[in-house]
A and B are shown apart, each in its own frame.
Chain A
């Protein structure tokens, strides 16, 4: 039980990143690989600032800002230098590996015995429950914030940009600026995820971001499947499903681990699982048409 509750907490910490991937992938149609780097960036900044006893507000803000800067960089390379978004993301991600290593100072920084966001408030004496409640509060706050942004006039303009750039240009929207801001928001959310996960697992590791974009993508795809299933249309419900997608994803991994699969195979399981989610609609269509 404890094991699954921890997986639940992890899924909530990762939900921030999933919302980020939702913004880049679904709203802007940009496959943003920066995610791998900005996730570790958030964790690295958090680990170093926390071990130097900075206040939580500064730690969280610094993570968010650093993530936003990374996203803006990808956006600038993509829009101003007209470089393919995928390549722009890979370039920034690659560069971030060194940046993260410089910030961390070594490949792994433990946070044992250092106060975290999860130990900062006491709602329950049981640590697992307490962690869960705090993760819930953080993600609820984020959900409300992103939902609000997407419903504003600015948010509508953002969502339209990914749909028809010709239309948005004709309606007075600077598409380049929109994409840069969108990638900044997406990577700020991703870095915040790194910040939360570092505190959840009590360490930051230079390799923790490798393949994390697949986790985000998988969760967004699950959300998409659920969206078609429940015939959801509103943007608020879609965002909620992205959080649910993160939850489902981590639960599947938890069940896999609990069933005795070698932890070394976890990335392979993740990749196959995402492949299945992508392939299922295609395969079921093919069966139907037979």
Chain B
């Protein structure tokens, strides 16, 4: 599904403040895997996710998605495969637009946005049914501007929006970092449900080791731009929290 080949990323190459964010990363991720990524600040987690989303381009190496090389593709061209949830809950949705309009755009993620009115009764119903599963009562407020909702609500809607269109890869960049514990749990549970239900291949960055242990089918730990640990499902479920804490000492 996803193949990263010899990926390196160097910032300010040749200058005094040269920083190597990723060192020769080789990574294969299979369809349906839910990969949790941990690592200290500056270890290269976010840079890795950016290589996939296209927000940054690698200095060397190749990014392949579904057999197609996408290394030089701009972000908007990768939306064909990739849906994203951001650390800042206000980034993933447009504040001035209604919930309905936001969902309409998400439903067209892989397609052209044409000069036709696409919101009809059937689409409204689809969005309402989708939102109802959150149990937040938002299904009756689909004409309200997104900006009137809380961070937790917006993050939950961003997650739902990611499966409005054909989705194969879901990138979660610390999706709960800005949320209170209750909203955070809700978001991670929802993500888990959606990933299973829609058979997504997912990558999730987190600083919460408890979440890292609880969720996902594979665990990666980064350190100073290199892949330090790569644990499969069995190895991961055998982990104790104490062991994980020691990794960071």
Contacts and interface: CB of A to CB of B under 8 A. Distances in A.
**Main SS class of interface, B:** loop
A228 interface: no
Interface in A143-198: 148-149, 151-157, 159-160, 162-164, 166-175
* Residue of B101, B109, B118 most packed against chain A (CB within 10 A): B101
Contacts of A52: none
B75 A170 contact: yes
Contacts, number: 97
A166 B86 CA distance: 9
B110 A172 contact: yes
B76 interface: yes
A148 B117 contact: yes
Contacts of B145: 233
B95 A153 contact: no
B101 A156 contact: yes
B106 A171 contact: yes
B104 A156 contact: yes
B58 to A, nearest CB: 18
- Looking at chain A's contact residues, the main secondary structure is helix
A65 to B, nearest CB: 18
B160 to A, nearest CB: 14
Interface string A53-71: 0000000000000000000
Contact of B96 (A157, A159, A172, A175): A159
A152 B105 CA distance: 10
Contacts of B80: 172
Contact of B97 (A148, A154, A163): A163
Interface of A: 148-149, 151-157, 159-160, 162-164, 166-175, 233
Given A166-B86, A170-B109, A171-B109, 17 more contacts: A148-B117, A152-B114, A153-B113, A153-B117, A154-B113, A155-B115, A156-B104, A160-B94, A160-B101, A163-B95, A164-B93, A164-B95, A168-B76, A171-B108, A172-B111, A174-B74, A233-B98
22 contacts: A151-B119, A152-B115, A153-B113, A153-B114, A153-B115, A153-B117, A154-B113, A154-B115, A156-B105, A157-B105, A159-B97, A162-B96, A167-B91, A168-B76, A168-B94, A168-B105, A171-B106, A172-B76, A172-B80, A172-B108, A172-B110, A174-B74
